[in-house]
Amino acid sequence: MNPMRDFVVGEWVVLKGISRHGKQRIDQHGNDWQVRDIGTFNGIRCISVLSEDATFKLAPGHKVRDMRWVHMNDDPNFDIVEG
């Protein structure tokens, strides 16, 4: 992943799980994620992403898209492999 790459809100990226946690999230929600915001999280440059499908159980019979922050560089759980 190029650390200077510019992300665009609305674009799709492919995530790869590198930790146990990351691999479990990919198994649950898939590897295609949509960029919803670009900013910082705890002072680290990140992108906020949404899963492609509604896979997160909010209540019985109701699912929503999963959202998470991913560091642009050296995320402990994910690699951004395409975008």
- Please write the tens of the pLDDT for every residue from 3-18: 557 899 999 999 999 9
Calculate ∠ Cα 53-35-39, nearest 5°.
140
73 is a domain residue: yes
Domain that residue 68 falls in: 12-82
Give the Cβ contact number of residue 21 at 10 Å. 12
User: Structurally, how many domains does the chain consist of?
Assistant: 1
Q: pTM for the whole thing?
A: 0.87
Give the Cβ contact number of residue 25 at 10 Å. 21
70 is a domain residue: yes
- H/E stretch holding 20 reads helix 20-29
Please report the beta strands in 3-61, taking only residues with DSSP state E, as ranges in sequence order: 12-17, 32-41, 44-59
5 is a domain residue: no
48 is a domain residue: yes
- Please write the tens of the pLDDT for every residue from 14-71: 999 999 999 999 999 999 999 999 999 889 999 999 999 999 888 898 999 999 999 9
